[in-house]
Amino acid sequence: MVARDLLGCILVRRDGTHVLSGRIVEVEAYTQNDPASHSFRGRTPRNDVMFQAGGVLYVYFTYGMHFCANVVTGPEGRGEAVLLRAVEPVEGIDVMRTRRNRLDTELANGPAKLCQAFDLGRAQNGLSLVGPEIQILPGRRILSKDILRTPRIGVTAGQEKLWRFVLEEKTPRRHRGNATENE
């Protein structure tokens, strides 16, 4: 599964003025035969990008006020993607502070927060992840024992699938959701 491989990778965002980056620490997988997925009921104008060949960014608008970003992972026509739920800010933290106006632990620890910090919106839907604006680079090697699997957040269907992956290293970082906190 591609979702696990994205954990620990570095999300890089260039907007002409700044370079932002963050280490991916939480993701969720969505496939076409999955009732919780936008692609479950077929291709529509909204989820069209999700059905494109992998390597592009699928950004959708939800709850009337938020954006969420996915990495499209399937071949053309299959409707597979991995939702980027949280990153640990690495570069451009000052810019993220300005955009988020929150504590440092709250800069990008949720899918919509991440989009606000990295300025991902409609304009970035369908962008190539190999292009200059957005890239995903390999990060430091991670251990599979540090990966926690849980049900996905905010979905009503498909709760039995443990398709949320959280990178839980000894680094004391706060995350949303029901991850086990040993502290």
CB atoms within 10 A of CB 1: 12
Contact residues: DNA, CB under 7 A: 28, 30, 36-39, 41, 44-47, 50, 58, 61-66, 68, 70, 81, 83, 100, 102, 106, 110-114, 116, 152-156, 176
Please list, in sequence order, all residues whose beta carbon lies within 8 angstroms of the beta carbon of residue 170, skipping any fewer than 6 positions away.
none
State in angstroms the smallest separation of the CB of 130 from DNA: 20
CB-nearer residue toward DNA: 52 or 116? 116
CA quadruple 105, 25, 159, 30: dihedral, nearest 10: 130
CB-nearer residue toward DNA: 9 or 132? 9
CA atoms within 13 A on the CB side of 181: 8
CB-nearer residue toward DNA: 41 or 149? 41
Please list, in sequence order, all residues whose beta carbon lies within 8 angstroms of the beta carbon of residue 33, skipping any fewer than 6 positions away.
40
State in angstroms the smallest separation of the CB of 97 from DNA: 12
CB-nearer residue toward DNA: 10 or 28? 28
Paired strand residues for 19: 14
State in angstroms the smallest separation of the CB of 61 from DNA: 5
CB-nearer residue toward DNA: 78 or 152? 152
Let me know: does 125 contact 57? Beta carbons within 8 Å: yes
State in angstroms the smallest separation of the CB of 8 from DNA: 19
